[in-house]
Structures are given as C-alpha cells and as structure tokens.
Chain A
Amino acid sequence: MKPQTRRTYVSETVAGLKPSGIRRFFDLASSLDGVVSLGVGEPDFVTSWSIREASILSLEQGYTSYTANAGLFELRQEIAAYLRRKFHVEYRPEAEILVTVGASQAIDLALRAIVNPGDEVIVVEPGFVAYEPLVVLAGGTPVAVHASGADGFQLAPARIEQAITERTKAVIICSPNNPTGTVLRPSELDALARLAERHDFLVIADEIYAELTYEGEYISMAAVSGMRERTILISGFSKGFAMTGWRLGFAAAPEDILQAMLKIHQYAMMCAPTMAQYGALEALRNGEHEVEHMRNSYRRRRNYFVAALNEIGLPCHLPGGAFYAFPSIRHTGLTSEQFAERLLLEEKVAVVPGNVFGASGEGYIRCSYASSLEQLQEAIKRMKRFLARL
C-alpha cells in the first residue's frame, strides 16, 4: 500500500542551511519599478568584445567538445604566466592549476578536498555569503572571526589565534573583500602566515577581486614567505575581466591538494565550459588594457561615492579594492535589515543589509558602486532625502 504523503527526502544538512539573505532582498527589489540598484555584486561592464569574439570564433571552429578535466592546457599555462607576472608566484600548469566553473566552485572543491567531518574552518566576517554554507556542506564546522569596522575591517590575527583549536584546518580570507572592499595589509597577511605555520593550517585565499585593487601592488597570500605550500589560491575571470556569466574561475595550490580537488571536479563537473575557456585565454593574453580601463573607472566612482556617503552622514572607510562601499548606519538606530528595507520601499534604492555577510556586518550596508555615475548621483540624492526623514 502506498503511503499518502511521502516523507521529506531533503538532507538534514541542506535543510539546516539558511537561505541567502541576498535572495530575500532580490525578491523584494525585483517586485518594484524604478529602483536604483546598489545591490549588484558584479561589474556594470559587458565582457570586452575581443573576449566575446574569441569565444565566438572557438564555436565557429567547432571547439565544442570536453577539454581536459583540469582545463585546456594552454589556458593553464596562461594562468601560470599570469600568476607569475602579477603576483610573483610560481605554479606548474600540469599539476598545480585547475580551471573551475567560477571561483565559487573552486572554493567548494577546496573545502571538500581538505575537510574531514568535524574539522573547523575559520571564516573571517563580514565575508562572502557562500563561505559558511560551503564549509557546512563539506562536513566542517565554520568558526566566525569578526573583523572590526573601527580598523577598516582588517584581519585581526589576535582574534584568529583565539579561535584556533586542534581541529582548525583552514582559514578563509578574501582580499579585496566582498562586502567591505578592504585590502588586507601586508603586516596582517604576514601575521596570519606565522599563525598558519605555528598551528599547521591552510589558508584559502579568495583573490577574485585582486585585479580591482586601486593603490599599490597587490600581494597574494601565496606570495607571502612560506605560504605557497599552505595556500589554496582562488581566483577567476568574473570581476576583473567582467565575465560573471561565463562562470570561469581557477584554483592554484600545491600538487597534493590540487590533485584532490581535481578528483572531485572530474566526477562532479568533468570540465569547465570549453567556449568560456577560449574566451578566458584571450582575456589573459590581450585583456590587460581593458582591465586597466575598468579599474580606473571603478576607482573614480569609488572616490566620488565614498566621499558623497560621508558627506550625507553615512560614515564609510575608503575601500582599497573591489567595488563595494560598506558604510555604517548604526547612528540611525535602525538594524541593517530595517534600514535596507525602508530605503528600498521609501526611496527605491536597493542596498544589501550588512548582516547578510555575518553578524559583524550588522550596523552596515553594502553598496555596490559598479553603476553609472548618474545612477550613483541619483542614489546619493535619494539616500540623503531618506536620512533627513529618519
């Protein structure tokens, strides 16, 4: 006899995951017209034509079959050359580089490749929404360490040290950071490196925004003394090359870890899409000028937007990279959810509440300035009006 209702088949792990707070705001903002959106975590540039054209050419030439699991060898060679040129780190394309479906997949693979049940992974907050759920899905336990707004959301090595236990397997960092735009200082990277050596853990370094660093030379975690062997470097093409929809990222890591990641990737994903890989080849070979153009454009918009936020009474540190401003709204007496929701409903400006990025994001909102200057000016005008009413 058939049972009348079936039991739920959803795993307890998945059932226990919180839905992304960004999703809720997306639903709310999408239901309104005339919204000025500062809620978008992606470039407002369309992928440069030469990259699109290279991908079209690959289709015309019939490159439509699988590539090697780890990605086109040519592309891995270019990635190795890029990492050497930009960040002064050496990786062997045949064994230490993996092309993935977005940097997100690379983070997932990194965690699944290293985490045993019960292992702890320290996640620096505020941070990208996917880190903690991915740790949980990998069977690990996320341990949040809060960065402080008073220090421009720099890493707090002392607090990380307090959170370290015998089960600590890795620390996830993101520089420049989503949502704060903070670029980690060399001294903080170095302090983390010393901790990693002393307590024997790995660092998963999400460097997807590295190309969007405005001042000074970018320092990769893998380039810090002694860290090449302890770092899983994650990056991709979405942000710097304006290729979000292409879903193409990569990981570089010591051979034993990278090969473990490849093992999962070959069963779960086979390989990244071929036409996207040809586009990425062109991006690395000839995309430098376009990246510079986009970086300059973001930098000028950052200068305008952060100065304007401070002027209208939303104190904000000057972010060193990415395209996010993370102003404090604490003095308004509203929670970040209340602030974002009222701003959206009353003035039709979409921002993301800071608490979506972890408890330490409470009291802040994330504003993406990857929007036209006209839109940014309009948003500032509306936010000023909103603040005056509070």
Chain B
Amino acid sequence: MFELDLFLEAFPVLLEQFIKITLVVTVLGSVIAAALGLAWAILVRQLPSFLSVPLAFVLDFIRLTPLPVHLLLVYYAFNSLSGLTVGVLVFGVHYSTYMAESYRAGIESIRSGQWEAATALSLPASRTWRAVILPQAIRNTLPSLGNWAIAMFKDTPFLIFISVVEMVTAARQFGGQHFTYTEAFTVAGLLFLVASYPTAVLMRKLEKKLAY
C-alpha cells in the first residue's frame, strides 16, 4: 500500500516547492504582517475616534472573514499582479489584523505609571512610543507574533485557490500522476510537522524566558 520508492521520489520535488514558495511567502508575509500590525495597533490608539472606529471595524471585518475569499478577491480584482505577489500581500494584511490584537494586548499590559511618567516628562508622543512603551510592549508580544507566523505557515496551502503551486498543490499533482496520493501527502505533512513543531517549542521556550 505505502510505497517507499514513491515517498523518496516525492520528497525532493516537494522540498523544492517548500523552499521556493512556502517559506518565501511565510517569511515575507510575516514581515509585512508584523510591521502593519504594529501600525494598526498604534493608529487605533492614537487616531481621533472618527477615524479609529472605522479602522477598528475594518480590521474586525478582515479578521472575521475567510482568507481564501480574500485571496480570490484580490487575485481577480487586480489581475495584473502575479499569484505569488497577491499571496504575500494578502497573507501579510490578513495576519496583520491578528498581530494588531497581539500588539494591543502587549501595549495594554504596560502599566499606566509608564504613560504618566512620559507625560510628566512632557515627552512627545513619538518618543513616548519609541523609547518607553514599545520596548516593553514588544517584549510581551513577541511570542504571540511567532505563533501567528506559524499559523500563517500552515495556511500557505490556501495559495491553491489562486493557482500558485506550493508544496501541497505539488503533492496533489504528484499524486495524480502516480495514481496514489498517500506518499506525497505524507511527505507534505511531514515537512509541515518538521518545520512547525520545533518552531512552536522554541516559541514556548522564548515565552517562558521573556516572562517577567
């Protein structure tokens, strides 16, 4: 039933897609998401309410609706963009809304005395954020950002919706050619497990280390 030959044959094929597409999208997407998420968290807090309320609503809307639909929408609405670009952008924006929540929690965990001290020293807002709040808040937020990055990594197969051939799509094609899917999907699952489990363990360690 389970053929080792096919398993070994599928391995390099999938590994190549894994490195070329899956990892690239995850890394670039995470960078975008982490930067945008921080921007959202600060903006929602700093903007006057007639701007911050709509912004918070938009973020909520994105967070509560499915990623595959976002991918399809952007892919067809801006059809000059390549699938890979759409993937990176949509993953980045979608996950930035989750990361914004993590940042928010991190920022809210800063004791009010810190804000008050900054006010007492009449620091300008930019310096309060840069020198007082963020260094403490991000320390609290980092592990949670890592967990979202892992979640994004496991969502990369959604790229199949916009016809980007990443690892799992390649596995399906491989299975179709050889009339058996077991080996190829086993390889795909293993690669995910091998990449995501150690990272998750590392994150848990980091979380413990960073905790006050």
- A and B from one complex: no
Binding site for A on B (CB under 8 A): none
